[in-house]
Structure 1
Amino acid sequence: MEHTVCSVKKKEVLTPKNIIRWHHDSDVYMYLESSGPLELKIRNKAFFLQKGQSVIGSRFQIANPTNEAVVFRAIALRGSPEWNGRPIIQPYIFDSNETTRLIGQAIDGLKIHPVCNKSLWSIFHLIESLILNMEALSCDEKVPLEIKKSTDKIDSRLLMINRFIRKNYHQQISLLYLSELICCNPVYLSNTFSKVFHVSPIKYLQQIRMEKAKEMIASTDEAISEIAGKMGYVSNSQFSELFKRTYGVSPTQYRSLEHIHANFGRTKEFKK
């Protein structure tokens, strides 16, 4: 689902003992970071945000329980307020880290009309990576077990790139494009991603594409050229060459073999 900005507060001042009810629509979620203590109330429950902490959630009110003004920075996004298919029931609270710093920079960089704004894209996926870190990745994330056990030691941006590749393998993706998404050097991204996942980002992208292509070739009658396009390849010959290098046969040969195996299985079943 496309996520759009409802409103942005870059330096909002909440006076002592004051309360803000901000965006209570069910399809809006918020990211907020505070310079001082705040109290969040959702469904008659209170959650306390300490100085420097950030929160992600929906449909909560913000109160300043102190005797001093508190400055906060926040963004409200309209979209599906759920992660891994589950709705956000209670706020996610985070201590300050590199990812929250990048989100703050991206919020400050938002333009008045953030259409096709890379800062907006970065905010959404950085927020997503924060929650992935907190949940230590669900089992269906297909990340090695040793990585799941040490997510607190991993640059969260690497998890974000890993997830981005799996969700967007059909797009035109380059190492430079991936590095720009998380504001880092391409060499740094390639080296650190390789150390964590034991494969470079572009090689990982190729692996995902080949797996998806193999499934489509075996289970559909779509033209090989159409499948190549759906995998993000402009050149059909490049796709066929990579497929043969990966599986030892061309896409057309693989489809023929799969049909032979399927027909052989049906013949055996018929004879029984």
Structure 2
Amino acid sequence: MAQLLIVDDEAHVVDRLATTVDWESVGIDQVYKAYSGQEALEQLHQFSIDIVITDIRMPGMSGLQLISEIKRQWPKTKSILLSGYSEFNYAKQAMQFQTEDYLLKPVKTADLLATVERVLLKLKQEWEEVISAQRMTYTLKEHLPLLRASLLQELLQGKLWSRQTLREKMSRLELGDRDWERFSLMAVRLDDRFGEFAEEDMSWKEYAVANMAEELFGGRYSLWHAKDAHDYLIFLLTPKDEAERDDPGWLERTASVLQSAVGVYLKGKISVLVSGAGAFPEDVPGFYNRSITAFRNRIGQEPEQFMRLEEKESEPAAIRSLDCLYEPPALIHLLEAARWEAVEERYKRIFAGVESGVSVSEEHLLEIYFTMASAYAYIAHKNGRLLNETLGTDYNRMTTGMPFRTVQHLREWAFRTLKSLQEDMAKETKDNRHSLIERIRSFIDENVTGDISLQSVADYVKLHPVYVSKVYKLETGENLSDYIQRAKMEEAQSMLRRSDEKVYVIAARLGYQRPHSFISAFKKTFGMTPQEYRDGQPQ
């Protein structure tokens, strides 16, 4: 839904248009009001305004000056001029500022709504153009290296997609003309003098190494590379021709050439590790983790080393690491973002992995438990809660020695505590929002004859007005302005029943600067004028 700002130094015009026109019928969700050009700019700085309807002649900043400033600061915001002056000169200036339309007072509601609807359609078409396939293709090509590296980093860390989804992602990033089935991994560590370069120079050297690799391997293999968290350059290579698979030694020989070329032409040393062939994509994280382990355990800190990742260089079968417990996004981040379904899926994979293992040790159970418990504690404390308040009796298991000795008991505890945490956070969010709505309504009810606006309400609850507006709509199903208007009309009824004050006095007390605006709003709400309502009361 869109947002509209009405600007006019005649307050009754602003109030009447804001309260009596059925803006929702054309897609306007929120209407803001301003009584000067300067006040309009303040509103534009606070809210995301889609359309501005402004008078031309106003004290201080004119409507033309206002739309000129809007064009400069908010080029996507559309402007409609509304004025009683029909001179051609104004219309010509309006066109120079690319004003969407020029309407004369008094404007008919149907004409105004038709104009706003047309402008909203134009806005929609402009945004569709921004996200059009052609524009996206251009932007994609501009950022291809970064996007490719990001996808590879996720693969290295073990993120899973369906084969079809991954194929589509790779296709969009132009990663080869054929499906990747087999691959080899090459890890490159920049050694020695490379560490002496400044960060920007280092980036250039990394770029140069990647280009040299593309030059050497690109004739026979498709390459895909990224820089990992350890500052290694990780390359995946898949053969362009089936015949290349018959000569696995070519990869190692060419990797050795790359090592020599970097020394000669970049005056630096690199260590290189090359793997054998693996199945894509399922073997990618395993090959990567084994390569990093080999760098740590076999190559060490010695510069300009070269080795092949052998098939036998894997973890001992008796002791397995729980990789899925740490894969990105981390468990703590999933909980922080309240991604409950993703957490449940992670738990299922963790326990499926444990149960499929040859041996499950007490240490594995402790590792899972400590990871989950620390994530729970972090989330509870970040929300200003104690964990024992959230988990109840399940918290007691956490303070008594070895809490779980079987996978079954740990699994039951994990899912049960996750549900408790989810319910507690949902209740707290609901309670906080309910409390906020009550505070907002109390403020409006107590100040219905004073300055009541979205900004004044937001100032009272010390929150941003956009957030206040959205939360109120989310929780109640109506706009905050509707509640303010209803509160004013209910107070107007009460005033009309219990006092003999003139209608214009009641209008002023309710914040209407023109009695006509008050009468129009009252009639729209109750189907009769204030005087007709008063006359119909029993004596």
In the superposition, the TM-score normalised over structure 2's length comes to 0.20
Higher strand share: 1
**More helix by percentage:** 2
Kindly indicate whether structure 1 or structure 2 has the higher relative contact order, using CA contacts under 8 Å at least 6 residues apart. 1
Q: Which has the larger radius of gyration?
A: 2
